[in-house]
Amino acid sequence: MLKSLKIRVILVLVFLAISIVYLLPNFVDFTGKWREYLPSDKIHLGLDLKGGMHLLLALDTDAMMKNLTDRKFNTLKESMIREGIRFLSLDRKGDDISVSVRNEQREKFYNLIGKELPDLKVKTSTVSGEVLTLDLTILEKEIENIKENAVRQALETIRNRIDQFGVSEPVIVKSGEDQILVQLPGVKDPERARELIGRTAQLEFKLVDEENAGRAGVGPVPEGDELLMQRNRNRQTGVTTTTPILLKKETLLTGELLTDAQVRIGGEFQNEPYVAIEFNSEGARIFERITADNVNRRIAIVLDNTVYSAPVVRERIGGGKASISGNFTMEEAKDLAIILRAGALPAPVKEVQNITIGPSLGQDSIRRGVQAAVVGAVLVIAFMIVYYRACGVVANMALFLNMIYLLGAFAALKATMTLPGIAGIILTMGMGVDSNVLIFERIREELRLGKTVRAAVDGGYQKAWVTIFDAHITTLITTFILFMFGTGPIKGFAVTLSIGVIINLFTAVFGSKALFDWIIARYKPRSLSI
């Protein structure tokens, strides 16, 4: 009995010491060698307590439809060339595609559409002599599916970017049909975060129009070309400028086939950072073919309609590896690598709402939350002492252990404290008191039956255990459901409550029982103040 009691007391004290160690960074800033051996993270505060960024974003569906039509247009063009179907004209008309073919190739063309592009339908068709002209449009059902998938893809892309950016416990959820809510607690550089989140990151490789290079920015743009701006950064001054450059409209390769993007330093870029990219097997084959067909010509690397570099292809490049240089700073190169690695947004996003929450609002929330917790704790402590006398003191000691363990677990798990989290802590206090009330009422029943103090305590804990365990398990199941299907604050509440329930099982039964056993073994009381 004494050996078992000693082990239990040691366990209680060990967990108490570990919790205090993890809580110390919130009160003490360690310096010197202590920083190497002790935890350094404080309890993270959520947006409602710490302040930060609140962004409501909406997908630009018009731009998304344009991109979708462009992809269908390019696919149709490549498929017709491959199948030997000669088009007399091929053009875009808003969100539709207009194509003219010889009437004799009508059946072959329809077979191509049915096999290669089943999500296109014929909107109008006219025959003039030997020429068949068709207006093709994308099926409405396909557009709805694409929009829904675009929101899901944008959610995942933004989440990946923010995870690599290093913001702890962000909130990224769908809001409405085509909007995304982003909350970044404690973000230190809001403008950089906005830039990182909002960039479409549409990577394209296009040929430079060498024949008309001297006409860039002067006079009309030649047919089949487009005028973009090339980014140039002065190495000495750090000043970034742009110059016009003429490119062929046709996109040779896109970033959809990228598998990796990493920051590198050195090599041909004079010890400055650049972004090394790598394609999958399909992208590698396309890239090798493109470079083989365009030796001694310039291929522009375009990101979101800005040319970052336009190197001359000296030879066929195999292996699917390339690099993007632009006289980057290290921070610019890192951000670009994050964006490319996380993937491109399916469409540009527009800011619907942008709120920066200052820490003063968080301080007010913390003050009110702490006040509520303190008032609740004082009332609970007073009730337990008045109603259960000396045993109430034991219950209050167990409650104190509960709070220390819970906050220590928060610090150790690097969880985020929010207002719903504070509510979860207060509810955990209530559950701890409820468990002790069940135990004490069973002890009273045992004492009325004339049992000794030790037998009454043992019997009370044993009989109350099943009820306490059932109550805590059902609460855990509820918190699990809240976590799985809830969002934002609801998840924070579920996490706090689940941790509190597990700790409460330990302190309310194991911890307080160890205190009772120690008192009985040490003082051998003949009666119990309960």
pLDDT band at 155, cuts 50/70/90? confident
158 domain residue, yes or no? no
Give the span between the Cα atoms of 292 and 216, in whole angstroms.
26
Segment (H or E) for 426: helix 419-448
Q: Are residues 83 and 45 in the same domain?
A: no
Mean pLDDT of the residues in the chain:
82
Q: Which pLDDT tens digit goes with each residue over 184-214?
A: 877 777 787 887 787 777 788 899 998 887 7
Instruction: Note the pLDDT of residue 247.
Output: 93
Q: Pick the range with the lowest mean pLDDT from 162-166, 289-293, 429-433, 455-459.
A: 162-166
Q: Are 144 and 119 in contact (CB under 8 A)?
A: no
Q: Are residues 398 and 497 in the same domain?
A: yes
* CA nearest neighbour of 398 among 501, 530, 509, 517: 509
Give percent of the chain with pLDDT exceeding 70: 92
Instruction: Note the pLDDT of residue 113.
Output: 86
Instruction: Note the pLDDT of residue 28.
Output: 75
Q: Are residues 305 and 452 in the same domain?
A: no
409 domain residue, yes or no? yes
Scanning 32-105, the segments in alpha helix (DSSP H) are 34-37, 47-50, 61-83
Q: Are residues 214 and 90 in the same domain?
A: no
Q: Which of 316, 338, 355 is the last residue of a domain?
A: 355
Q: Are residues 258 and 363 in the same domain?
A: no
Q: Are residues 136 and 270 in the same domain?
A: no
Q: Are residues 314 and 264 in the same domain?
A: yes
Q: Are residues 400 and 347 in the same domain?
A: no
220 domain residue, yes or no? yes
Q: Which of 320, 355, 390 is the last residue of a domain?
A: 355
The sign of the CA dihedral 287, 293, 294, 299 is negative
Q: Which pLDDT tens digit goes with each residue over 23-42?
A: 888 777 766 666 667 777 77
249 domain residue, yes or no? yes
pLDDT band at 168, cuts 50/70/90? low
Query: Does 396 score more than 90 pLDDT?
Result: no
Task: State the DSSP string of 287-347.
Answer: HHHHHHHTTTSBEEEEETTEEEE--B--S---TTEEEE-SS--HHHHHHHHHHHHH---SS
Query: Does 336 score more than 60 pLDDT?
Result: yes
Give the span between the Cα atoms of 9 and 521, in whole angstroms.
13
Instruction: Note the pLDDT of residue 246.
Output: 92
Q: What is the domain count for the chain?
A: 3
pLDDT band at 426, cuts 50/70/90? confident
Average of per-residue pLDDT across 239-259: 85
Q: Are residues 203 and 324 in the same domain?
A: yes
Supply the range of the domain harboring residue 514: 2-51+359-523
Q: Report the amino acid identity of residue 22.
A: Y
More confidently predicted of 349 and 164: 349
Instruction: Note the pLDDT of residue 301.
Output: 85
